[in-house]
Amino acid sequence: MPERQSAIRCQDLTLGYNRHPAVHHLSGNFAHGSLTAIVGPNGAGKSTLLKGISGSLKPIGGHIELASHKRHNIAYLPQAADIDRSFPITVYDLVSMGLWNTIGFFRGISASGKNKIADALHAVGLTGFENRTIGTLSGGQMQRCLFARLILQDAPIILLDEPFNAIDAKTAHDLMHIIHHWHHEKRTIVAVLHDTELVKRAFPETLLIAREPIAWGETSAVLCSENMERSRSMTEAYDPHAHDCERAA
Ligand SMILES: Nc1ncnc2c1ncn2[C@@H]1O[C@H](COP(=O)(O)OP(=O)(O)OP(=O)(O)O)[C@@H](O)[C@H]1O
């Protein structure tokens, strides 16, 4: 099979905090247009990997290469817990931030920009919520709002950190529909997920990680019971007081 064009290439990548590695020696490609789930136990380094790809965390070792070399080509949805919802901003203003790459900070929103915002709000089922402050939204409505912002970012690479966490089945179904639409548009999508049944149903490729990569490839092969057991035992064996990576780069 010919090698697929890579959108994100990780080369012997090690990421961590204060020199303590959280993701060790990851090498592999997220192919252009692929839809990949990142799966693994709590503390396995899944969010850390997304932070590394998004550019908000610099590697301790190794490299991340993007096909486009432009970080603004990445749209990133952080975990809900990392978002401050006490900030007094309306749904309209939060969603319109998705246009910043195209309009800049200080220019007004054009008529076509306003149409795009209306279309994005419609796509996520939030028409009529424009003037609500985000602190008044339910968890599911807030996630819909953040997806509308992602739609406007119009990025070729989309990173989603637990997009369905604490979300009801109808909202998860609607947001999954948007993810499939992005996949059909040949965007590269990487999503951290805990629901392995959903991953098996809807994500063709999976990276299973437990600080070190366990397996990466076709979902049905990656999520076999042997790999799942290995990922559990590797995380259980982790020593939180270890300083430097013991394996040579
Ligand atoms: N800002 C930080 N400073 C120090 N250590 C951190 C920081 N963020 C994460 N870690 C540590 O890095 C390791 C990996 O964390 P990470 O959040 O990437 O895991 P995860 O796989 O996303 O977990 P979960 O499924 O629980 O969200 C954990 O041991 C965590 O405590």
231 Cβ below 6 A of ligand 1? no
pLDDT values of the chain reduced to their tens digit, one per residue, 249 residues:
456 899 999 999 999 999 899 999 999 999 999 999 999 999 999 999 999 999 999 999 999 999 876 666 899 999 887 878 888 899 999 999 999 776 655 567 888 889 999 999 999 999 999 999 999 999 999 999 999 999 999 999 999 999 999 889 999 999 999 999 999 999 999 999 999 999 999 999 999 999 999 999 999 999 999 999 998 887 666 555 555 555 544
What distance in angstroms lies between residue 19's CA and the mean position of ligand 1's atoms? 13
**149: its two tokens:** 């912002």
Q: According to the 3-state scheme, what is the secondary structure of 103-148? A: HCCCCCCCHHHHHHHHHHHHHCCCCCCCCCEHHHCCHHHHHHHHHH
Q: Is the CB of 52 under 6 A from ligand 1?
A: no
ipTM at complex level: 0.98
Mutation test residue for ligand 1: of 15, 17, 23, 58, the one with most atoms within 8 Å of CB = 17
- For the chain, list the domains and their CATH numbers: 1-68+156-165+188-249 (3.40.50.300)
